[in-house]
Chains A and B, each alone.
Chain A
């Protein structure tokens, strides 16, 4: 039994690291999004902060949201991202970044209470429905987008996906391919959990 499992793991590793399999799986599970249109708000999902430093994914998403705002696709930018105990919240750090990059302070909101994508959807709806903003540009990673968009639609939003690429789908280096496969596996587990819990 352990030898058979080991054989399966080694075969999978070789296929994922040294062939384009991970990229093919990514393209099969993550549909390409059309160019984003206009909306009433841009909502940027959280992706982590550690002692006041945004993770790479968090920074990519924040910059993606700021770029959409600066293209004039929505009048309001909502930065999400929970607190880091004893530190500034991810949302506040991103708001500061947005203002530094030219977004007017009055056009950017910080919502730091959501700890899961589902909570972010609920809290965003509370913050935006009162302002009459229902159609949103949703900014998150490509792999995360199908689940996030479904949760935000369920919260009441009309979602326009605006994914940012956090991992290269056409990665040619073994490490990049393995990171792509790891992200896909993580997202598939998250989707299964959300379905089992009745959130999707």
Chain B
């Protein structure tokens, strides 16, 4: 029941967004979906990198300083949120800038 409810809510808001987006026919949905998938891929890559580096750093700190850092610290949900931010900045940075847009 909860699963169906959530999917219906998301389907409704997606349909609304699609209806609004169709007012701008020059925008392509497939290209947007591709960029979104690319962003998700970058998020996964940043998250994997953060966890791998965190794991290695925790073990290195244990070995070199004698202080104990739990490996479970790499399971913190804040690492996912920060990976999302890293990925979004990375993706925006890689995209060619629109010369028509004024620079801030």
A174 engages B6 (CB within 8 Å): yes
Tell whether A3 pairs with B34 under 8 Å between CB atoms, given A9-B44, A115-B70: yes
**In the complex, how many angstroms separate the beta carbon of A58 from the nearest chain B beta carbon?**
13
CB neighbours of A2 from chain B (8 A): 37-38, 41-42, 45
- Does A29 sit at the interface, judged by CB under 8 A? no
Q: Are B6 and A3 in contact, CB atoms less than 8 angstroms apart?
A: no
Q: Is the interface of A mostly helix, strand, loop or mixed?
A: helix
- Identify whether the interface residues of B are mostly helix, strand, loop, or mixed: helix
Q: How far is the CA of A137 from the CA of B1 in the complex (A)?
A: 38
Interface residues in B68-93 by Cβ distance below 8 A to A read 68, 70-72, 75
Q: B61 near A: Cβ within 8 Å?
A: no
Scoring A3, A17, A186 by chain B CB atoms within 10 A of each residue's CB, the highest score goes to A3
List chain A residues, Cβ under 8 A from B68: 115
Taking a contact as CB atoms under 8 Å apart, the answer to whether A4 and B3 are in contact is no
Tell me which residues across on chain A come within 8 A of B70, comparing CB atoms.
115
Q: Which residues of B contact A (CB under 8 A)?
A: 1-3, 6-7, 34, 36-45, 55, 68, 70-72, 75
